[in-house]
Amino acid sequence: MGSVLTDVPRVIRLGKPVIPRRFLPRCLVARLGPIKHRLVFLFLGFTMTSEHILQGPEALPVPNVSLGRYLLQRLREHGDGQYQIDAVSGVKTTFSEVLRKSTSLAESLRSHGVGVDDVVGVASVNSLEFCLPVLAAYYLGATCATFNPLYTVHGMFVKHASNIFPGELSHALNISKPSIIFCSPTCVSKIEEASEGLLFVRKLVVLGDGTPMSSGQVPFHSFMRREAAADFAAVDVDPDQHVAAILCSSGTTGLPKGVMITDRNIISCITNLADNRFGHLNSNNTQLAVLPFFHAYAYACQLASLIIGFRVIVLPKFEEELLLKSIQDHKVTLLFLVPTLLVFLGKSPKVDLYDLSSVKEIWCGAAPLSKEVQDQVTNRLKIRNVRQGYGLTETTLAVTFISGGRNKYGSCGTIAPGMTAKVVDLETGAPLGPNCSGELCFKGPLIMKGYLGDLQATSATMDDDGFLRTGDVGYYDQEGYFYIVERVKELIKYKSFQVPPAELEAILLTHPSVQDAAVIGIPDEMSGELPMAFIVRQPGATINSEMVTRFVAGEMQGFKG
């Protein structure tokens, strides 16, 4: 039996609808003319046109090769350098071992008919083997589709509808159509159930030491029996058109979509990560990999480690003591995290029991990070700042990022090299100037090819000028630093005001008795929506709803109807 929650989150309905002072009004438009705008932004390394279009610095040259050829070349250059360490077992791999196994796996896949534009699926927890089918697929000019092992096979049954909506897994398999799927032992039965009757799925390969449970399953060590020649060559494909990855979108507005990421998208992304003006990653890093590899954020980071050549400590899942011990024992220097993990690092008393002094950089993405949590982490770990970035599955990785120099609290950084951005009015779609909140839109080499098999959704996401509409509300200041306010669909509509849950959550997290918090909108006949907060108390805290309501009211600016 799993652990029992002894502190069930309390549901608190905030008595008086409130809006942060700093959110009203956003449109503090600078009175600079177009020429002055251009001079200011050129000095900072990017330009802004009189039409309020921002352009990032010129990108570094990108090799004009397929992703498979590029990865093969880089692995050969890394040689016998140490690559991965399993945080649980201590098993180690080198780049040369990964090269040998991945090319052998490519030959095995080729013998099973996998070639250009075929799809290879991976549904797995983090492991040393995760990268092998990914690399093998790219060598052959195939496409890799990743699936969350926790996806459900079936959706919910709708009364009177006489049918069952598909679960995320069934839906993802049907849109990506993988011919061979590599999966963890823990989810192989689920994959088998979801793929039953799908004629395009020819084989399930079980990673690790798992024993196949049926005749349709093949153990990984048996499948990978062919040795590749020393002069093994990757198939050449058009990097601008070839779909390297089908990654599932977050599904915040429905079932996940299949996001098509090209070879060029990934190579451009990793070139930016190694660019000293932007990511400045290098082979001296030791990274802790705790975020799931099937997710776009961690997927891109793993490919970056293979191309740039830094060491990775692999955690199969998040466990508090294992994470802290791994950082201490392996002298981890680089952490790719999300806000919930930073809350743990900032607030948990367990952190003080370990030596985390090796950590030099923390990157944070996937959701906004409050100033309070950032301060807690930077002070506790004695690092300069937490480098926040912003991106979507549809943008490959970060399209804005805090560089290694200046830090601005609350900002997710400046625009990436080679990218173009604008913030548009939610009503008219007109581009807005500095300090005006609107929908964030981006264009450039990091933007997806489209949604697989869904031209309608692709068209709805791209505007007439080729910009990706993110669905996120934000703004940029006069120095070109971007700030995220909220998702368009997640904004709480209180009368004529738009209240971002993230602002309320940030206030709640400053209370010393609050361990974690989430805010949603609930229907209200008079106001449209009211904010509701879900609170997790700190261990031993005696906080109640009245105390939280008074605290929030003291920090926020209320508005009368």
For the stretch 369-407, pLDDT in tens is: 888 888 999 999 999 888 989 999 999 999 999 886 677
- List the one residue out of 272, 327, 316, 269 whose CA is nearest residue 294: 316
What SS3 string covers 502-558? Answer: HHHHHHHCCCCCEEEEEEEEEEECCCEEEEEEEEEECCCCCCCHHHHHHHHHHHCEE
Q: Residue 556 pLDDT > 70, yes or no? A: no
Q: Do 84 and 209 touch, CB atoms closer than 8 A? A: no
Has residue 268 got a pLDDT over 50? yes
Q: How many residues in the chain? A: 561
What is the rounded distance in angstroms from the CA atom of residue 52 to the CA atom of residue 327?
A: 44
Q: Residue 344, exposed/middle/buried by CB under 10 A (0-12, 13-18, 19+)?
A: buried
The more confidently predicted of residues 510 and 118 is: 118
Going by pLDDT thresholds of 50, 70 and 90, the confidence category of residue 212 is low
pLDDT at residue number 291: 94
Confidence of residue 34 (pLDDT cuts 50, 70, 90): very low
Q: How confident is the model at residue 197 (pLDDT cuts 50, 70, 90)?
A: confident
Residue 303 has φ and ψ, to the nearest 5°, of -65, -35
User: What is the per-residue pLDDT for 384?
Assistant: 85
Q: Which of 473, 522, 529, 478 is nearest to 502 (CA)?
A: 473
- More confident: 87 or 509: 87
The pLDDT > 70 percentage for the chain reads: 82
Name which of 78-82, 248-252, 533-537 the model is least confident about.
Answer: 248-252
Span 107-135, average pLDDT: 96
Closest CA to 67 of 146, 147, 145, 135: 135
Q: Which of 301, 306, 437 is nearest to 363 (CA)?
A: 301
The count of other CB atoms within 10 Å of the CB of residue 525 is: 5
CATH architecture of the region 67-82+95-237: 3-Layer(aba) Sandwich (3.40)
Write out the residue limits of the CATH 3.40.50.980 domain(s) in the chain: 67-82+95-237
pLDDT surpassing 80 at residue 207: yes
158 pLDDT higher than 70: no
Tell me the sheet residues that pair with 520: 532
Mean local confidence (pLDDT), 418-434: 94
Q: What is the pTM of this model?
A: 0.80
pLDDT at position 155 is: 56
Place of tokens 């005006």: 436
Kindly report the number of other CB atoms within 10 A of residue 516's CB atom. 18
The hierarchical CATH code for the domain 10-20+500-558 is 3.30.300.30
Most confident segment among 21-35, 396-410, 412-426, 496-510: 412-426
For residues 448 and 260, the answer to whether their CB atoms sit within 8 Å is yes
Query: How much of the chain exceeds pLDDT 90, in percent?
Result: 58
**pLDDT (0 to 100) of residue 92:** 97
CA proximity to 246, closest of 144, 169, 398, 394:
144
φ and ψ of 55, to 5 deg: -120, 130
pLDDT at 509: 87
Exposed (0-12), middle (13-18) or buried (19+): which is 556, by Cβ within 10 Å?
Answer: buried
Distance of CA 523 to the CA centre of its chain: 30
Positive or negative, the CA dihedral 449, 455, 460, 464 is: positive
Across 481-490, average pLDDT: 80
Whether 303 contacts 293, CB under 8 Å: no
pLDDT value for 376:
92
Predicted confidence at residue 4, as pLDDT, reads 30
Distance CA 280, CA 287 (A): 14
Average pLDDT over residues 359-366: 90
Compute the distance between CA of residue 481 and CA of residue 159 in angstroms, rounded to an integer.
49
Residue range 119-126: mean pLDDT, rounded: 96
Q: What mean pLDDT comes out for the span 358-375? A: 87
Looking at every residue in the chain, the average pLDDT score rounds to 84
For the cut 80, the answer to whether the pLDDT of residue 342 exceeds it is: yes
Name the segment(s) of the chain with CATH classification 3.40.50.12780: 34-62+315-489
More confident residue, 450 or 38: 450
Q: Does domain 34-62+315-489 have CATH number 3.30.420.40?
A: no
CATH 3.30.300.30 positions along the chain are 10-20+500-558
- Residue at token pair 């000095």: 43
With cut-offs at 50, 70 and 90, classify the pLDDT of residue 362: very high
